[in-house]
Structure 1
Amino acid sequence: MNFAQLLLPDFSLILCGYLLCRFTPLARPTWDQVETLVYFFLFPVLLFQSIARTPLDVGAVSGLAAAGLLLGLAGITLAYSLPWWPGLRHVDRREHAASAQVAFRFNSFIALALSERLAGAQGLQLIAVLIGVCVPLFNIGAVWPMARHAQTGFFAALVRNPLIIATFAGLACNLLGLHVPGWLDPTLNRIGAASLALGLMAAGAGMQFGHLAQAKALAVGVLAIRHLLLPLVAAGLGFALRLDPTQRAVLLAFSALPTASSCYVLASRMGYNGALVAGLVTLSTVLGLASLPFALGVLR
């Protein structure tokens, strides 16, 4: 499998956003409006459709769902513990609050494409299970530290968060057996494609590598969790829970994915250092070229 070919489109869109913002009249004010559109409309529609459209067979995939939840909890715990790691005891707490999400969130677009290549239609069903059970947990895990450090109510922040609203709405429709009308699918698919392109370009537009230089230890810790520790945890869970080979492969791929491009949008819209998070998203996309072969080739 050509992992470089799979990740190149995302990295190219980030680079396009960076170049457009720096060298064309499409400067920062333009991208502020793009971020608003992506955060409040495009990404929520995409999340809702991704979760609602694939029925969940709870019985057949309970082991995989449990592994996904345990993997997610491990990622969140490791990310939250970073300020107590050696060399990170004096890390800026606001930068940690914004960056922690990078350690456990994932790029769902790459997840869907990769799972289909690994196991066809079954792979898509299995990754849909992981998306359905992990996205609510990850979104809550991403919002909580930022809401706490911004001194805003955590539950108020969750209730107002459009990504979490869309996630729970999608799960409710899925479990109740409700479906989006077929005639609406093409429109939703186009909105999803737009959210991918514009979200990645907005991340590139907000990117400032200088911020990474000011938080080197934090960046190393966050990316080490995302691309090294979580694949190792996934390998252990697959063995301990006796997942079948296909489920184990999908879990390993899930554990090694680049982080979500919406990390930047969420941090920026909540008033945090979006430039730092955008740089981490970019580096995570590049590191995915190494972590995916590591998880699927070595650990598998």
Structure 2
Amino acid sequence: MNYAQLLFPDFSLILCGYLVCRFTALNRSVWQQVDSLVYYFLFPILLFHSIVKSPLDLGATSSLIAAGLCLGVSAIALSYSLPYWPILGRHLDRKDHAASAQVGFRFNSFIALALAERIAGPQGLLLISCLIGFCVPLFNTAAVWPMARHGNTHFGRQLLRNPLIIATASGLVANLLGFRMPIWLEPTVQRIGGASLALGLMAAGAGMQLTSLRKGKVLSVTILLCKHLMLPLMAWGWARVMSLDATQTTVLLAFSALPTASTCYVLATRMGYNGAYVGALVTLSTLSGMLSLPFALGVLL
């Protein structure tokens, strides 16, 4: 499988956003409004739809879900622990870490859905949908916590008002209750989803300033190593602990090696943090996925 070809559409959209913002009249004041549109309307609809469109078979996927949640908790703990490591912690800016820790464990659900179907067919799509349904609320909650804490805002209020958490939690409940999107509404929702993907990635590019990485080189390298090296290794370990079958192991390894979520930039920006720095990390994570996916599926599998 050509992983570079699979990741190229996402990276090219980020690059388009950067070029449009830098060299045309569509400057950052325009893209700030696009951020709001994606964050509060387009992307929540896409998340809800991606979860409810495939029935969740909890019995058949319980081991995979357990492994995914264990992997998620391990990844979150690893990302949060970085400021407390000897020597390393002294070189990390705590506020930048609060905004960028999410890069170390979140994942790009669009690439996840596309990749799972290519490597494992319809069963892979169902399995990755299960992981998305259970892990996205966990990851989004974990992403909000350090920023709310360092920003001196009420954590519970941030969770209750976070549109991404509301969308994923309600989607999971709706799926388990048997709700299905009406056929006549499907085309509209699919077009909204496509718009959210394109605009979200372009907004990340528009806010990107790679020069912002200069002051946080140690943090950048550490976060990306956690995401693209340590997570696949932890996934390999949890797959064996949970005795996953071959297909489930393949899906979990692919899940662990995905680039980070493009909405990391949106969330950091909306909560008043250094969005340019996080956007640059998202871009580097997308590039790093071209190495971590072959490593996970070609070496560890």
The answer, yes or no, to whether TM exceeds 0.5 is yes
Letter of the 1:174 partner, please give it: N
Q: Secondary structure, in 3 states, of the residue corresponding to 2:169?
A: helix
1:47 is matched with 47
Residue of structure 2 in register with 1:22 after alignment: 22
- Normalised to the residue count of structure 2, the TM-score between the two structures is 0.99
Alignment of 1:149-164 (within 5 A): 149-164=150-165
1:75 aligned partner: 75
- Secondary structure of 1:287's aligned partner: helix
- After TM superposition, the structure 1 stretch with the greater mean CA deviation from structure 2, 90-99 or 11-20, is 90-99
Task: State how far apart, in whole Å, the 2-side matches of 1:225 and 1:243 are.
Answer: 23
Q: Deviations over 1:59-110 (max 9, x none)?
A: 1000000000000001100000010223232422110110000000000010
Question: Could you say which residue in structure 1 is the equivalent of 2:6?
Answer: 6
Confirm whether residue 194 of structure 1 aligns to residue 195 of structure 2. yes
What's the counterpart of residue 216 of structure 2?
215
Q: Distance in 2 between matches of 1:139 and 1:52?
A: 18
Q: 1:91 maps to which residue?
A: 92
Give the Å deviation of 1:285: 0.2
CA contact (8 A) 2:82 2:88 kept: no
Residues 88 and 217 in structure 1, CA contact (< 8 A), matched pair in contact too: no
Secondary structure of residue in 1 paired with 2:90: coil
| Other structure's SS at 1:272 match | coil
Q: Secondary structure at the match of 2:58?
A: coil
Q: Identify the residue that residue 114 of structure 2 maps to in structure 1.
A: 113
Query: Equivalents in 2 of 1:171, 1:238: separation in Å?
Result: 24
- What do residues 249-285 of structure 1 show as CA deviations (whole Å, max 9, x unaligned)? 0000000000000000000000000000000000000
Within-5 A mapping of 1:1-300: 1-85=1-85, 86-300=87-301
Instruction: Point out where structure 2 has 5 or more consecutive residues left out of the alignment.
Output: none
SS in 2 for 1:60: helix
Query: Deviation per CA, 1:209-251, whole angstroms, max 9, x where unpaired?
Result: 1111110010011101110000000001111111000000000
Aligned length: 300
% same residue: 68
Q: Distance in 2 between matches of 1:203 and 1:181?
A: 32
**How many Å separate the matches in 1 of 2:202 and 2:33?**
12
- Cα offsets for 1:29-59 (capped at 9, x unmatched): 0000000000000110011001111111001
Counterpart-to-counterpart distance in 2, 1:179 and 1:213: 47
1:181-225 deviation line (CA, Å, top 9, x unaligned): 111111111011101100000000000011111100100111011
Instruction: Output the amino acid matched with 1:68.
Output: G
Q: How many Å separate the matches in 2 of 1:61 and 1:159?
A: 29
| Equivalent AA in structure 1 for residue 178 of structure 2 | G
Q: 2-side partners of 1:221 and 1:17: how far apart?
A: 26
Local SS of the residue matching 1:56: coil
Query: Could you tell me whether the CA contact under 8 Å between 2:100 and 2:278 is conserved in 1?
Result: yes
1:9 and 1:144 map into 2 onto residues whose CA distance is 31
**Runs of 4+ more than 3 Å apart:** none
2-structure distance, mates of 1:147, 1:121:
39
Contact 2:46 2:192 (C-alpha < 8 Å) held by counterparts: yes
Three-state SS of the structure 1 residue aligned to 2:60 is coil
